[in-house]
Chains A and B, each alone.
Chain A
C-alpha cells in the first residue's frame, strides 16, 4: 500500500477482554515498530521487528502484551486481559533496513485508539 495501514482506528473494550491491533507496513519495508502514546505523554517504544531476526521486545510493559509478524509483513499486537491503564493510541511505523542502504526514515500509520472501560 501507499502508507502504513492500521486497524481498527478505534476500539472500545471492557476491562479484562483481549484485543488485537493490526498493522500493515509499507510494501518492501522490513523494519516494523510498535509505539504507544498515552494522553499527555510522549511516545513509548514497545517492540521492533527486523526481517527474520528475533524481535526486540524490551519495551513491552507486561506479559499481557505480545506481538507477532507473519511472513515479514503484517503485524498484530495483542493485549490480553486489558486494564484501564492500557488505554492509549497504539502507533505502528515501518522503515527500510538501514544496513541495506535505507536512511532509517520512519513512516507512521494513523494509529489505533484503544479505550478500556
Chain B
C-alpha cells in the first residue's frame, strides 16, 4: 500500500526566502506525482504534475523534482511571498494495473510567509 509523507508539517519563513518542501513515497512504481496548493476553506489547486519519466517541472517561481528510485519529490519555491501562504499537498498516482487510478495524498505542509 502506497504511503506518502510530507516534511515538515508546518513551516514559517520571512518574505523573500527560498524554501523546499519535501515529499516521500514508499512504492516507487508510480504513474505520476502532482503538487497542489490548498487555501483555507477552499479546494485544491494544481501546481505542477511530473510524469514518472520526468525529473522536474517548472512553473514561474515553483520547481518540482522527482527521484523515483529513492521515492522522493521536492517542491522549491523561490523568493517566497505572503501570498504563497497555504497548505501544500503532494499526491502520487500509482500504476493503473496495480492500484487502479487513485491518488494517494500526503498530509500536507502548512506554509506561512511573513511580511
Contacts and interface: CB of A to CB of B under 8 A. Distances in A.
Interface residues of B, number: 25
A110 B100 contact: no
Interface string A97-117: 011000111111111010000
Interface in A26-74: 31, 33, 35, 41-43, 45, 48, 50, 56, 58-59
A56 B106 contact: no
B49 interface: yes
A109 B43 CA distance: 6
Instruction: Summarize B's interface: helix, strand, loop or mixed.
Output: strand
Interface of A: 4, 6, 31, 33, 35, 41-43, 45, 48, 50, 56, 58-59, 91, 93, 98-99, 103-111, 113
Interface of B: 31-32, 34, 36, 41-46, 49, 51, 89, 91, 93, 96, 100-108
Nearest to A3: B43
Contacts of B34: 105-106
A4 B36 CA distance: 15
A33 B34 CA distance: 15
Contacts of A43: 89, 91, 105
B31 A98 contact: yes
Contacts of B41: 113
A56 to B, nearest CB: 5
Contacts of A42: 105-108
